[in-house]
Amino acid sequence: MKKVLAIVALVAAMFVAGNVQAQTTIYAAYAPETFKAETSAFGSTVVNKTQYQGFAVGFSQNIGLYKDFGIAAGAQFRMNMRSTKDTGTLVDITTKDTQMLIDVPVLLNYSFNINRDFSITPFVGPMLSLGLSGKTLSRTQEHILNTTTETTYNWYGEDGNMSRFNLYAVFGGNIRFSNFNVFGGYRMGLLNVSTFNDASLKTNGMFVGLGYSL
């Protein structure tokens, strides 16, 4: 973890110093995420997976290291969302989950330049993630009394059950035509973000997106 933070700090310092030439790309991506929870009790393990819809917007700057090798660093805002509704004879319960995060990927890459305007670039590297907010809004509607009750549960903080920090391993590829980019890949959460004993919660997901290089 300390090595990853050192790499991020080094790249950031290089940008600030202005000693490198970097190509900036802005992008938007579809990035759903799976939460995999494992709970141990009485000698057995229960596994539960929850699917979230996800979207991200961000930017990256790619620094040429040697010939066609480069390192891309940037930041993105990402959001996970999920909504469910249980309809009953006496009660309807609607639940909405929302999580907002800031990600900082640092990705090594190599460009296969087909011609001046077309290239294929695989990439791999770590991505630090910070949970800005996470909450579950539950709305209960009683049919007989015609009343509605709302409760909010925060994922983080003293009463929460999740750590704000995560570390992903990211790999994928980018196809560039002129200034336009189409990319995709997979991110795998490496840390247990559950704060409960005898429980594990890890996140992972694919992503596809479009970008424009300035």
CA–CA gap between residue 187 and residue 171 (Å, rounded): 7
CA atoms of 161 and 191, how far apart (whole Å):
14
Closest CA to 190 of 125, 144, 133, 93: 125
Predicted pLDDT at 124:
97
Query: C-alpha angle 76/204/210, rounded to 5°?
Result: 40
- Taking the alpha carbons at both ends of the chain, their separation in whole angstroms is 32
* Distance in angstroms (rounded) separating the CA atoms of residues 141 and 100: 27
Q: What element of type H or E holds 90? A: none
- Is 168 within 8 Å of 129 (Cβ atoms)? yes
**Do residues 38 and 46 lie in contact, with contact meaning Cβ atoms separated by under 8 Å?**
yes
pLDDT of 1 > 70? The answer is: no
pTM, entire model: 0.84
- For 80-112, the pLDDT digits (tens) are 999 998 887 788 899 999 999 999 999 999 999
Beta carbons of 115 and 147 less than 8 angstroms apart: no
CA-closest candidate to residue 187, choices 63, 28, 31: 31
Q: Which of 207, 204, 203 is nearest to 182 (CA)?
A: 207
CB proximity list for 197: less than 8 A, separation 6 or greater: none
**Distance, C-alpha 69 to centroid of its chain:** 25
pLDDT in tens, 141-187: 887 878 888 899 999 988 888 999 999 999 999 999 999 999 999 99
How far, in Å, CA of 119 to CA of 41, rounded?
51
Strand partners, 95: 84, 138
**Structure tokens that stand for 134 in this block:** 């996470």
pLDDT digits (tens, 9 = 90+) for 6-23: 545 555 454 444 445 678
Burial of 137 (0-12, 13-18, 19+ CB in 10 A): middle
Contact 208, 175 (CB under 8 A): no
Task: Please give the Cα distance from 32 to 164 (Å, whole number).
Answer: 18
* pLDDT on residue 20: 54
